[in-house]
Amino acid sequence: MIKDIGFQIQQGECSALLGPNGAGKTTIIKMLIGITKPSAGQILFQGERHDRKRPFIGYLPQHPIFYS
């Protein structure tokens, strides 16, 4: 379960999520890129609710996996 997370990444910045196994890093990334919907709360992108139809986030996994 992911609780009480918030961060901002400015245009042109590169960012990473670090933490121990089971901390929720993969879940956060899946929510940001639209694979998983948050069960509560919201994701804002450029001040607006994140819409899965607007894929503005680039993602390169450590081991490429192709989702359906």
Secondary structure (H, E, C), the chain: CCCCCCCCCCCCCCCCCCCCCCCCHHHHHHHHHCCCCCCCCCCEECCEECCCCCCCCCCCCCCCCCCC
How many Å apart are CA 24 and CA 66, to the nearest integer? 20
pLDDT band for position 68 (cuts 50, 70, 90): low
Domains in the chain: how many in total?
1
Q: Give backbone dihedrals phi and psi of 64, rounded to 5 degrees, phi first.
A: -55, 130
Domain span including residue 20: 1-68
Q: How far apart are CA 25 and CA 48, in angstroms?
A: 23
Query: 5-42 pLDDT, tens per residue?
Result: 888 888 888 888 898 999 998 888 888 887 888 888 88
